[in-house]
Amino acid sequence: MFGLETDIFILLAFSILAACAFEFVNGFHDTANAVATVIYTNSLKPNVAVIWSGFMNFCGVFFGGIAVAMGIVNLLPVELLIDQNVYHSAAMVFSLLFSAIIWNLGTWYFGLPSSSSHTLIGSILGVGLAFTFMPENSQGTGVNWTKAQELFMSLLTSPIFGFALAIIIMFILRRSLSKPIREIVFSEPKKNQPPPIWIRAILITTCTLVSFFHGSNDGQKGVGLVMLILIGIVPAHFALDNSKDPIGMKTDLIGIEQAVGRIDSSRLSISDRHNMRTILAEIATLKTQISKPLPEHRFPLEDRMNARRSLLLISRNTKTILDNGHANLNLTDQAYLKKQSGSESGIRRFTDYAPDWVILMISLSLGLGTMVGWKRIVVTIGEKIGKQHLTYAQGASAELVAASTIGVSSYMGLPVSTTHVLSSGIAGSMVASKGVKNLQGGTIRNIVIAWVLTLPVTMLLSGTLYVFFRWIL
């Protein structure tokens, strides 16, 4: 398959299997985010809740788009790490996969709601940093720090936002509901007794939304991980979306060339002038490639990775020039270049994609993983964050916060930690009920420690593994 030698094909198959394992672990590691509230409020039986959550996770991956997946792919400038030695690409893949799986399994074993998002991103950053300091690297940094900054801010602010929003929702509920209803929704569930049907409907709805949006965000990270593997090991087949005719980019390239040509380079910094020259040079290269005969309306295998590199350089350098604010262009030209550099309708449509079979494979892995291994972290979420039993209002508030935060983040293409958004939402609801004293300090401390340690530990682990695999492969 893909014209690979047997040993390389085995490496590819093993890598994809490991990526599915990561997403499977992600599923049972993060199940508690959706089902803890419906289980602890007796709204659904555990087995029913887990199966339903697994199905909605599957739907979230399959129908949730690929914006988050491309955020993961673009974090690591994989085109810099790839050379003629496919084993170097395998070293990249194995190191980030193994470090992510090791940390996820370790935190699951100890019942800590750590973030799969932090884990995967830390693993990717570790590989990029290790590559940066390799003697043979003469191409610059191995990390897309602009994208990394966006992801850092998303991961940092989302738990804070979840904590604050849960407090606000609890305050609104207390002030807006009539006393009889307030007494019901703020009461603790009775043992083995389901809540009133309308409360049950609300909690099942919020569980469904959290599950779906978890799939659309966390599941898409698995899609991005598989695309990193495919681009790294078989770039000729997956560097570009081969379902799109390269002739279709010619009009886009001409439009970008004309708009960039209208920039007054004398007003740009030295680095932006270099970026501008790079854009024009890469456009010329692509136009030359397109002008040649293209059998089956595709770039030749040997040209596809170079074409991907050119498209990404055009996109990134254009965005950099616009963000620096010194391009004296009219609003029409600015809007056109922004669309071309950062939109799926621009030139990035040729590089930012995922085959249907990849999305289906990750959907199944996450959905199946959601159906097992849920108990350890459900106990932490439901019993050990606050000192009181989870009330109906607290469960609904926390899940509403989680669903809305994750949904907006998925729409913006930003990965967030489902675990930490929901955990912080529950913590916020506990504080809103009886103040900070209502939190269990030991659990909160452990969650915060896991949150703080995840990035540096996974970065160190994946970077060390990358150096090791580069040595042995």
267, burial (CB in 10 Å: exposed 0-12, middle 13-18, buried 19+): exposed
Buried residues in 88-98 as b, exposed as e (16+ CB within 10 A) = bbbbbbbbbbb
Q: Are 120 and 100 in contact (CB under 8 A)?
A: yes
How does residue 192 score in pLDDT terms, banded at 50, 70 and 90? confident
**What is the per-residue pLDDT across 258-308, written as a single tens digit (0 to 9) for each?**
999 998 888 888 888 999 999 999 999 999 999 888 888 888 888 888 898
Q: What is the pLDDT of residue 114?
A: 67
Neighbours of 45 (CB within 10 A): 12
Comparison of pLDDT for 190 and 98, the residue scoring more? 98
Is this structure's pTM higher than 0.95?
no
Mapped to the 3 state alphabet, what secondary structure does 156-186 carry?
HHHHHHHHHHHHHHHHHHHHHCCHHHHHHHC
Beta-bridge partners for 439: 386
**What is the per-residue pLDDT across 215-247, written as a single tens digit (0 to 9) for each?**
888 788 889 889 888 888 888 888 899 889 999
**What is the per-residue pLDDT across 357-391, written as a single tens digit (0 to 9) for each?**
999 999 999 888 877 755 555 555 544 454 456 67
